[in-house]
Amino acid sequence: MMIPHGVRMNRLSTARLAAALTLACSVAACNPVQSPRGPIPLVMPPPLTTLGAHRLVPTPVSVTPDDGAPFVLTATTAIVVPVGGGEASRVGGMLAALLRPASGFVLPVAAGDGAPPRGAIVVRLGGPASLGPEGYELTVSADSVRIVAVEPAGLFHGVQTFRQLLPAGIEGQHHAVRMASAWTVPPGRIVDRPRFAWRGAMLDVARHFFTVYEVKQYIDLLAMYKMNTLHLHLSDDQGWRIQIDSWPKLTTVGGITEVGGGPGGFYTKDEYAELVRFAGQRFITIVPEIDMPGHTHAAIASYPELGCSKPTPATQTGTAGSYTGTEVGWSTLCPDKDVTYRFVDDVVREISAMTPGAYFHVGGDEVQGLTAEQYASFVERTQEIVYKYGKTMVGWEEVGKARLRPTSIAQQWKSDSALLALRQGAKLIASPAPKAYLDMKYTPTTELGLDWAGLVELRTAYDWDPVTYLPGVAEQSVIGVEAPLWTETVQNITAAQYMTVPRLPAIAEVGWSPASERSWDGFRARIAAHAPRWRLLGINFYPSPQVDW
Ligand code: TNX
């Protein structure tokens, strides 16, 4: 599906933006207990009696229920990890930490390679190679739980499945309030692995800044749904969010603004390292984006010699050259100046050095101020810089208009130049705006969000396939899916959660589960059981009327 040209341009008038911002923390979007239809009671679903009735999201590849008694988590359950188990032991420790608040059990994590004691939860590397780098097997009997995977990431995903099989009360953060009569899991076996390698979300921390603490909450949400990539949109016209030692004014000048005139902010290198570490512990790769050559006003306001922009739009309301409106496409780095490439080189070098992940996202979207040749030449020179610093280039699909290396990746969003990239051998990340954009309104009355790509109710976000969405795309050409949250109207993590949940779990299932196992009716029934978990975790959400919560 293509978005007709022009539909997206009129995406946000200033008046509507102002209205959206004043409403940004009214009832529905910022109060987890209220919904547009009134308060939703916290009803705990009954514990599972058979694995066949699981409410797992994403739904697994195969689930085989057994008859017999359930596994019961007790104060004497041991978590058994391999001797000298490194990452496997760490995952065992995370499981113990996850179970502790609600159960009150301080479960020991014991190293042992022999037969585990009765009643243990065994977390161990092994299993068939067919599980791949992120798959796992989970076997539950009255006697034990075994989580086996080829790689630690698979163990982590297996832990998330085990967590979702326990009564919802396991998400409670206070032992004093007991939320289940017993911590049981029905017997059986789950074999599971993801369909796509790239399952991500993007958070725009440029239009509105999000603190390290807020981003960590977002990361925890991704981890719960087996997503493995967090793309951080670190720069745009309204703000520059990452410390660059060789160009300090990027943050001292470019970092202190945001949409609507708020104070902005930025991550120091230590803070960025902390986000990378926190995500890495959850097997989530951070993909940094510096959007270039357009969407660069914050950089140009900091260093005017970089700029060749059209005049700042009339919606500017900031001071000292800052831009706090939401027009797009007008700013650009000067493609013909040496200083531009010194800047790009320094920025890519410093960010690559603090990013262990393989990818660097160069943006490349919505450039109106350059000729086609200038644009292509900018992307090609920047691509060489990205590879020089050892990273794989990712760009919004417009980069398909330049000559791409075959390993470069294009992120499809409006679907009009993705095929140009594909024809050059590039792989695609599927983020079609009418399906995957978390900043689109759910309904005409959603207070926050935009609607240029259409309304995206839950079913719309769920009911699509990343391969068949664009005609002419082969399964091997799609590396995965990503759900972007642009934050022109989204000011804080509570509002971000409202736009993200439940659509992000829907996209997570699109990315993880085999097409043959997916159905809207199935998802609709399973996701309902997640609301009490979100409530206990303090995660705000949109109670879509398409679901019987
Ligand atoms: C388009 S998607 C943009 C962003 C906006 C977004 C709002 C893309 C590559 N560019 O600059 O924030 O629409 O939905």
Q: For 451-497, how does the pLDDT look when each residue is reduced to its tens digit (9 = 90+)?
A: 999 999 999 999 999 999 999 899 999 999 999 999 999 999 999 99
Evaluate: CB of 366 within 6 angstroms of ligand 1: yes
Residue with tokens 């009671």: 41
Query: Do residues 527 and 428 share a domain?
Result: yes
Query: Do residues 232 and 181 share a domain?
Result: no
Ligand 1 atom, smallest distance to 452 CA: 14
Ligand 1 mutation target, pool 415, 485, 486, most atoms within 8 A of CB: 486
Query: Do residues 370 and 407 share a domain?
Result: yes
Ligand 1 atom, smallest distance to 411 CA: 9
Do residues 59 and 527 lie in contact, with contact meaning Cβ atoms separated by under 8 Å? no
40 in any annotated domain = no
543 in any annotated domain = no
Evaluate: CB of 397 within 6 angstroms of ligand 1: no
Residue with tokens 């984006």: 289
Ligand 1 atom, smallest distance to 439 CA: 14
Q: What pLDDT shows up at residue 311?
A: 81
Query: Do residues 180 and 314 share a domain?
Result: no
Residue 512 has pLDDT above 70, yes or no: yes
Q: What pLDDT shows up at residue 320?
A: 73
Query: Do residues 180 and 218 share a domain?
Result: no
Confidence of residue 41 (pLDDT cuts 50, 70, 90): confident
Query: Do residues 188 and 277 share a domain?
Result: no
Number of domains in the chain: 2
Confidence of residue 180 (pLDDT cuts 50, 70, 90): confident
502 in any annotated domain = yes
Question: Domain containing 75 — which CATH number?
Answer: 3.30.379.10
* Mean local confidence (pLDDT), 16-42: 50
289 is catalytic: no
Give the containing element (helix H, strand E) for 411. Answer: strand 409-412
Query: Do residues 252 and 267 share a domain?
Result: yes
pLDDT tens across 112-125, in order? Answer: 988 889 999 999 99
pLDDT tens across 302-355, in order? Answer: 999 999 888 888 887 776 789 999 999 999 999 999 999 999 999 999 999 999
Which tokens is 114 given?
Answer: 């022999």
Query: Do residues 293 and 437 share a domain?
Result: yes
Evaluate: CB of 413 within 6 angstroms of ligand 1: yes
pLDDT tens across 275-300, in order? Answer: 999 999 999 999 999 999 999 999 99
Evaluate: CB of 486 within 6 angstroms of ligand 1: yes
Domain that holds residue 124: 62-192
pLDDT tens across 81-94, in order? Answer: 999 879 999 999 99
CA-based Rg of the chain, rounded to a whole angstrom? 23
Percentage above 70 pLDDT, the chain: 92
pLDDT tens across 378-421, in order? Answer: 999 999 999 999 999 999 999 999 999 999 999 999 988 999 99
> What is the rounded distance in angstroms from the CA atom of residue 508 to the CA atom of residue 483?
9
End-to-end CA distance of the chain: 31
Evaluate: CB of 291 within 6 angstroms of ligand 1: no
**Domain boundary residue, one of 161, 177, 192:** 192
446 in any annotated domain = yes
38 in any annotated domain = no
pLDDT tens across 219-238, in order? Answer: 999 999 999 999 999 999 99
Which tokens is 54 given?
Answer: 């699981």
**Domain boundary residue, one of 154, 171, 192:** 192
Residue 179 has pLDDT above 90, yes or no: no
Percentage above 90 pLDDT, the chain: 86
Closest CA to 204 of 290, 292, 298: 290
Do residues 79 and 156 lie in contact, with contact meaning Cβ atoms separated by under 8 Å? no
Count of CB atoms situated within 10 Å of the CB of 544: 21
Evaluate: CB of 365 within 6 angstroms of ligand 1: yes
Query: Do residues 239 and 342 share a domain?
Result: yes
Query: Do residues 361 and 216 share a domain?
Result: yes
> What is the rounded distance in angstroms from the CA atom of residue 286 to the CA atom of residue 497?
19
Q: What pLDDT shows up at residue 33?
A: 43
45 in any annotated domain = no
Query: Do residues 129 and 275 share a domain?
Result: no
**Domain boundary residue, one of 172, 192, 212:** 192
> What is the rounded distance in angstroms from the CA atom of residue 525 to the CA atom of residue 511?
19
* Mean local confidence (pLDDT), 64-73: 97
Ligand 1 atom 9: the closest Cα is on which residue? 365
Confidence of residue 176 (pLDDT cuts 50, 70, 90): confident
Phi and psi dihedrals of 149, rounded to 5? -155, 160
Average pLDDT over the chain, rounded to an integer: 92
Identified catalytic residue from 171, 366, 398, 482: 366
Better-scored residue on pLDDT, 181 or 66: 66
Ligand 1 atom, smallest distance to 440 CA: 14
